[in-house]
Amino acid sequence: MIGVGKIKQYSNVLDKPVSKGKQEVSLSAFAFLFSELVQYNQTQVDNIAELERRLEDAGYAVGARVLELLCHRDKGNRRETRLLGILSFVHSTVWKVLFGKVADSLEKGTEHEDEYMISEKELLVNRFISIPKDMGTFNCGAFVAGIVRGVLDGAGFPAVVTAHFVPVEGLLRPRTTILIKFAEEVLKREARLG
Amino acid sequence: MPAVAPRSGDAIFASAERVNAELFTLTYGAIVRQLITDLEEVDEVNKQLDQMGYNIGVRLIDEFLAKSNVSRCVDFKETAEVIAKVGFKMFLGVTATVTNWDAEGTTCSLVLEDNPLVDFVELPDTCQGLHYCNVLNGVVRGALEMVSMKTEVTWIRDMLRGDDAYELQVKLLKQIPEEYPYKDDE
Amino acid sequence: MAAIYSLYIINKSGGLIYYKDHGTASRMDTNDTLRLASLWHSMHAISQQLSPVSGCFGVELLEADTFDLHCFQSLTGTKFFVVCEPGTQNMEMLLKYVYELYTDYVLKNPFYEMEMPIRCELFDLNVTQGVQKDRVALLGR
């Protein structure tokens, strides 16, 4: 019943206890919301590159908040200072919280020292989405790329992060790779730290 | 076709694929933020949230029908109960209560105590006129329109504005009769 | 195991939005399929009016010499119908399944515009799989 002592009035949202992160909604609810996010942004842009950028920006804000939430709740406010540490955090902890599983793989780029790749057979956000042929290589995973960039940036590891479809031998559908290209300062610091 | 029994909101939610509510909450927050940046005026943001909700509602209704096996509701009272107990539960994982019926049985309130759209949200002073959850109005309105009911959905209580619950008023304006294709020639 | 000849989806205005040909028998050209969809849409509506029983929502099964036609109409007015070999089992279940696929791979696709022809790769893939004979048999259990 409403108002029968169940609801506490918090004078300040900061006084509210941090949720344990166990509440769930249906995947459908998220999918419909995400679909509308994409549709809205389509109306705001003239080309695909802009759409990608807007989705990435939307994801960035999510990433920044996820980092704060997780650092406080799961890590007891400890900070990652090493590259592999933060990558592992993204690949495992962040992915588990947001998508219910750890990412399929985390690899170091073979061609460039500053590149790392997190790959998924299919990103959760793309589950129900079929890209029209005339949109080329566009990937709604740009939103996830933005999330990763938000986490990395907030943690002190600035990077350029993009989402790409990668065809796989023998599979009907391409997998998605989140490509992370760290800023030079990150690599320099990493080298200093030994 | 043999009639299939309607399923409860709990049963559907339990058997559906689910995600962490935080992904949902944070994504919604990102949407609201984008709208505030793009539109600036709080009234415009409210309108856009409602429109986005409507766009979702007209699509979401088919999944609701497909999964719940709900057949035509006898009256609006049944409709409201089904939205509150099955609709909200199967998508948001929370149930609403139906209250405040008017004498004609065309207006009621849906009350939510738990709302996954809102977590850690506080309205800044610059956004005091914002109906943060306005997407829900549009969803209910859009969904019902697809099953021939024209409604008006407004906020009565909003926890982000200091109230003790979220209360949505749903008013049935009219039932649109089904149109037959051969009548279009008249 | 009897065969499925074709699957149609028509929007609430009677426009054909999806057509899938599974049989090897006569193939129809686009104009014919559009005409057939429009015709069925009208017939379905008329059947609701003609029914001697009140509360009728339209034809669900049409049995002819050379084919059966099963039709499912959602409360939103979208019609899913399948033309198959007479006596084919589990067609209602198939239509229900296709309806669910529609709510997933069409309605959740941001690039799909409501009421327009369906061009969603994932929907196509899943429907094709769903229509496979062994899959249809599973639906009946």
pTM of the model: 0.91
- Chains touching chain C, criterion 3+ CB pairs below 8 Å: A, B
Would you say residue A158 lies in a domain?
yes
For chain C, the domains span 4-139
* Structure token digits, residue B179: 């149109």
List the domain boundaries for chain B: 19-176
pLDDT at site B178 = 60
Q: Which one of B12, B18, B115 makes the best mutation probe of the A interface by having the most chain A beta carbons within 10 Å?
A: B18
Contact between residue A186 and residue A157 where contact means Cβ atoms under 8 Å apart:
yes
Assess whether pLDDT exceeds 50 at residue A30: yes
pLDDT at position A9 over 70: no
Count of CB contacts below 8 A, A vs B?
A: 125
Q: Count structural domains, chain A.
A: 1
pLDDT (0 to 100) of residue B2 = 52
Per the CB < 8 Å rule, is C99 touching B62? yes
Cα separation, B58 vs B61, whole angstroms: 6
Residues of A in contact with B52 (CB under 8 A): 36, 40
**Contact between chains at C104 and B60 (C-beta distance less than 8 A):** no
Cβ neighbours of residue C51 closer than 8 Å, sequence gap 6 or more:
none
SS (H, E, C) A68-98: HHHHHHCCCCCCCCCHHHHHHHHHHHHHHHH
The three-class DSSP label of residue C132 is coil
Asked if pLDDT for residue A37 goes beyond 90, the answer is: yes
pLDDT of residue A21: 66
Confirm or reject contact between B31 and chain A (CB < 8 A).
yes
8 A C-beta contact, residue A18 and residue B22: no
Distance CA C120, CA C102 (A): 10
Question: Lowest-pLDDT range, A153-162, B38-47, B130-139, C124-133?
Answer: C124-133
pLDDT digits (tens, 9 = 90+) for B88-134: 999 999 999 999 999 998 999 999 988 999 877 777 778 888 999 99
Please name the member of C105, C119, C125 whose beta carbon is closest to the beta carbon of A128. Answer: C105
The answer to whether the beta carbons of residues A150 and A60 sit under 8 Å apart is yes
In sequence order, the β-bridge partners of residue A51 are none
Does B176 score more than 90 pLDDT?
A: no
Chain centre to alpha carbon of residue B64:
12
pLDDT band at A15 (very low <50, low <70, confident <90, very high): low
Instruction: Give the orientation angle of helix B42-68 with respect to helix C91-105, to 10 degrees.
Output: 160
CATH of the domain at A76: 3.30.1380.20
Are C60 and B181 in contact (CB < 8 Å)?
A: no
Q: Say whether A62 and B26 touch across the interface (CB within 8 A).
A: yes
Give C72-114 pLDDT, tens digit per residue.
999 999 999 999 989 888 899 999 999 999 999 999 999 999 9
Q: Does domain C4-139 have CATH number 3.30.450.70?
A: yes
Give me the pLDDT at residue B134, please.
94
**Which of A34, A42, A132 has the CB atom closest to C119's CB atom?**
A132
Measuring CA to CA, which residue among C9, C13, C16, C127 is closest to residue C79? C9
Short-list B104, B71, B103, CA closest to B86: B71
**Which residues in chain B belong to E strands, given as ranges?**
18-20, 97-99, 107-112, 149-157, 166-175
pLDDT tens digits along A116-157: 999 999 999 999 999 999 998 999 999 999 999 999 999 999
C-alpha to C-alpha distances, B7 to A114, B29, C84, nearest whole angstrom: 53, 31, 30
Residue B71, pLDDT above cutoff 90: no
Q: A78 or B7: which carries more pLDDT confidence? A: B7
Interface test with C, best of A37, A55, A128, A133 (most C CBs within 10 A): A128
Least confident range from B30-34, B40-44, C33-37, C129-133: namely C129-133
Range of the domain at A47: 26-193
Position B124: which residue type? Answer: P
Please write the tens of the pLDDT for every residue from A79-117: 888 999 999 999 999 999 999 999 999 999 999 999 999
Does B34 have pLDDT greater than 80?
Answer: yes
CATH of B19-176, one of 3.90.660.10, 3.30.1380.20, 3.90.550.10, 3.30.1490.190: 3.30.1380.20
Residue predicted with more confidence, A3 or C97: C97
pLDDT over 70 (residue A6)? no
> Looking at residue A14, what is its pLDDT?
63
- Residues C43 and A68: their CA atoms lie apart, in Å, by 60
Contacts of C121 in chain A (CB under 8 A): 130-131
